[in-house]
Structure 1
Amino acid sequence: MDRSDVEAARARIGDRLRLTPVLDAVVDTVHGPVPVSFKLEYLQFGGSFKTRGSLNALLHSAVDASGVVIASGGNAGIAAATAAAMQGVDCAVVVPENAPAAKVAALHTLGADVVQHGTSYAEAFECATALAIERGSVQLHAYDLPDIVAGAGTTGLELDEQVPGSNSVLVAVGGGGLIAGIATGISSDRSVVGVEPQGIPTLHSALGNGSPVDVAVDSIAADSLGAKRIGDIAMSVAAAHGITSILVTDAAIVAARDYLWRHFRIAVEYGGATALAAVLSGAYVPEEGERPVVVLCGANTDPATL
C-alpha cells in the first residue's frame, strides 16, 4: 500500500469523522522543558483512532445483513461497532474474558453483540474467525488489513496540514496499524518513531529479528497494545520507511498518563499515554529546535482510575 491508498480512504470517509485538533504545549522531562504538539486523536468518534480504519473498511466492503465480526482487546471493537452503527449494519465483537469493564460496557451501549472468549487477543481472534465463517459475516482485523491501515493513515495526512515541517511523530505501537498508516500517509521527510511497553516489544523485536516474531504480552497497556506479534503490513512499512522503536517501562507509562491528567485534564488510557512516556522519561530526546508530535491515540478508560 502507499499514500494513494490513504488519500483514497480520506476521500471515502469524507466528513463522517472528526478532524481531531492539535494542542501545542511544553512538558517537563528528565532533561528539562520540551515543546511538543499533541495530536488529540482520543477525541475521535469511538474514543480512538481506530474508528478511521473501521469506517474506511466498511465503506470499501460489501457488508450485507450478516454484518461484521472483529476480535479486539476493546478499542478496535468499539471502533467497529461505532462504524457499523453509522452504516446501519450489525457488529459482533469477540473480546478476551479479562477485557476492561469500561470497554465491554461501551460495546454494549453501542449495540454490539459481545462475545467474551479466552484471556488474550490471539484466543479472541480464533473465536472471531470461526464466528465470521459461521455467520457469513465480513471479518475485520484490528490492525493488519489494508483498509484498516489506510484509514488510520488519514491521521498522518492531517498532521502534515496541522503541524507542517520535519518534526518527528511519536506513535504508540501494538499491532502496528496506526504507525504503519501514519508513516504511509505523512510526508516522506518526517521520521516516525514507535513507542512500545518493554513488556510488549512487537515492533522492537521484529526489527531486531528482521521479521515479525511472537512476544510475551506483559504490560499495564496490554488492553490496547496487547498484540503478541507485529502485523505484516506494519513490518513492511517499517522496513520501507525506516521506522525506529523505543521501549518504555510501565512506570513511565503510568507517570505519563498521570501527567496528562494533572497538567492538561486530559484523560487517556495507558496505551494513549505511551508515546508521551518516551518524551517525559528521556527515552526520546528531541533534536535542538525540534517540536515532536505526540499522538494521544485512545481514551477508552474508566475515569475512576485516574
Structure 2
Amino acid sequence: MTHPTPDPTPDAIAAAAPLIAPHIRATPILSLPKDTMGAAPVTLKLEHTQVTGSFKVRGAFFNMLTREVPDVGVVAASGGNHGAAVAHAASTLGHASRIFVPRLIAKDEKLRRMRDFGAEVVLTDGSVADCMAEYAAFAEKTGALSVHPYDTIPTLTGQGTLAREIEAQMDGVDTIIVSTGGGGLIGGVAAWCRDRIKVVSVETETTNTLERSLREGPEIDASPSGIAAGSLGGPRLGVQSYEVIRHFVDEAILVDDDATFAAARMLWETTRLIGEPGAAVAMAALTSGAYVPAPDERVCVVICGGNEVPGWFAP
C-alpha cells in the first residue's frame, strides 16, 4: 500500500546521524534467547545507556545544531528526560537553558539530573497542558529557542536516528516495540521504518495518548496518571508526530501499571538492567503477553530511558 510521505524522510534521518554522532553514544544492543522475556527471542536496544540516560539527547542536539540559538538560550517543557537532554546539549554547545516542569509529575531524580546538566528548572502548577502553555509563553516573550519534546520535524529527525542505528546493529529486524508519550520517539522510529519494519506502540491504560488519538482523533486532552506518567505523560500527540504515526505505526497496545512493575522486575532479574517506568512499559508488552511475536519474528524492544531511582519497582 502506498502512503503519502510525511516528514521527516529516511534520507533526512540518515543525514542527521553523522551530524549528532560526535555528541551522543551509539548505544549497544543485547540479544536474549527464547523464553527469557517471552516465548520468542528478543533484542533489547539499551538506549538508557545514552549520555543523559535516554534517547531524548538525539533530538536535542539535532535541534541546536540545525537551528539558530539566540543569546537568551533555549527553553523546553519536560517531565525530566527531555529536560536533561536539552540542558546537556545546551551546556555542551555553550547555551543557557530553562526547563519548565509540571509539579504534579516532577520526580526528584529527574529534577536533579536536569539541574546537574546545567538547566534552570521552573516548577509549574496545574496540568501538563498548563506547563506547556507557560513554556510556550516564555519562548514567545523572550525569543529563546523552543525545543519541543515531540512536535517538531528536527526532534523527530533526531529521534529517528535510533531506529537507523538498530537496523545497522541487528542482523535483520521485523518489529520494533516502543513506549509512547507525546510521540517523538515512536514518530521518529516510524519515519525511518515506514512500511519496511513493523512498529508497535505500548502505553499504560492511564497514559494512552496514542491509542486514544487513533480512536478519537488528535484533538484530545489527556490527563495522564499512574507509574509511567512522568515519562509518558503527554496531553496529546504532536501534530507532526501524529501524521507519521497514523500512517506508519502498525499496532497500539495498552498494559496496566502492575504489568509495568512486573516487567521492570523481570528485566532486573534476567539482565541486571534497570529501566525507568517508561522503558518497562515497552517490555511489558512481551512479559504480560499483550504482544506475542511469531516464532521467527525478529523483535527489538527499545529500553528508552533509565532516569529513575534504583529499586523503584521493588514490591
Q: Name the TM-score, length of structure 2 as normaliser.
A: 0.92
RMSD between superposed Cα atoms in Å: 1.7
Shift of residue 121, structure 1, vs aligned partner? 2.4
Say how many residue pairs are matched. 305
After superposition, residues 279-294 of structure 1 pair within 5 angstroms as: 279-294=286-301
Instruction: For residue 236 of structure 1, give the secondary structure of its aligned residue in structure 2.
Output: helix
* Aligned-partner residue type, residue 69 of structure 2: V
Equivalent-residue separation in structure 2 for 1:119 and 1:299 (angstroms): 26
What residue ranges of structure 2 are gaps of 5+ in the alignment? Answer: 1-6
* Aligned-partner residue type, residue 236 of structure 1: E
- Partner deviation per Cα, 1:70-118 (whole Å, 9 max, x = no partner): 0111111001001111101000001012300001111111121110012
Does residue 159 of the first structure (1) align with residue 154 of the second (2)?
Answer: no
* Aligned-partner residue type, residue 229 of structure 2: A
Alignment equivalent of 1:53, drawn from 45, 49, 59: 59
After superposition, residues 165-176 of structure 1 pair within 5 angstroms as: 165-176=172-183
Equivalent-residue separation in structure 2 for 1:152 and 1:215 (angstroms): 23
Shift of residue 14, structure 1, vs aligned partner? 2.9
Q: Which residue of 2 aligns with 1:108?
A: 115
Shift of residue 268, structure 1, vs aligned partner? 1.1
Q: Which residue of 2 aligns with 1:300?
A: 307
Q: Which residue of 2 aligns with 1:225?
A: 232
Is contact 1:166–1:189 with CA below 8 Å preserved after alignment?
Answer: no
Shift of residue 27, structure 1, vs aligned partner? 6.4
Shift of residue 197, structure 1, vs aligned partner? 0.6
Q: Which residue of 2 aligns with 1:72?
A: 78
Is contact 1:29–1:281 with CA below 8 Å preserved after alignment?
Answer: no
Instruction: For residue 62 of structure 1, give the secondary structure of its aligned residue in structure 2.
Output: coil
* Aligned-partner residue type, residue 52 of structure 1: R
Shift of residue 8, structure 1, vs aligned partner? 2.3
Alignment equivalent of 1:177, drawn from 174, 177, 184: 184
Equivalent-residue separation in structure 2 for 1:187 and 1:56 (angstroms): 21
Is contact 1:167–1:292 with CA below 8 Å preserved after alignment?
Answer: yes
Is contact 1:170–1:293 with CA below 8 Å preserved after alignment?
Answer: yes
- Partner deviation per Cα, 1:231-270 (whole Å, 9 max, x = no partner): 2122111222243200011110111111111221111110
Instruction: For residue 14 of structure 1, give the secondary structure of its aligned residue in structure 2.
Output: helix
Is contact 2:172–2:298 with CA below 8 Å preserved after alignment?
Answer: no
Higher deviation after alignment, 3-12 or 171-180? 3-12
Is contact 2:16–2:62 with CA below 8 Å preserved after alignment?
Answer: yes
Equivalent-residue separation in structure 2 for 1:111 and 1:83 (angstroms): 10
* Aligned-partner residue type, residue 74 of structure 2: V
Is contact 1:197–1:274 with CA below 8 Å preserved after alignment?
Answer: yes
Does residue 35 of the first structure (1) align with residue 41 of the second (2)?
Answer: yes
Equivalent-residue separation in structure 2 for 1:119 and 1:215 (angstroms): 13
Does residue 9 of the first structure (1) align with residue 16 of the second (2)?
Answer: yes
Instruction: For residue 87 of structure 2, give the secondary structure of its aligned residue in structure 1.
Output: helix
Percent sequence identity is: 38
Does residue 130 of the first structure (1) align with residue 137 of the second (2)?
Answer: yes
Higher deviation after alignment, 211-220 or 75-84? 211-220
Shift of residue 15, structure 1, vs aligned partner? 2.5
Equivalent-residue separation in structure 2 for 1:216 and 1:154 (angstroms): 30
Equivalent-residue separation in structure 2 for 1:55 and 1:288 (angstroms): 38
Equivalent-residue separation in structure 2 for 1:243 and 1:148 (angstroms): 21
Instruction: For residue 46 of structure 1, give the secondary structure of its aligned residue in structure 2.
Output: coil
Instruction: For residue 13 of structure 1, give the secondary structure of its aligned residue in structure 2.
Output: helix
Q: Which residue of 2 aligns with 1:118?
A: 125
Q: Which residue of 1 aligns with 2:263?
A: 256
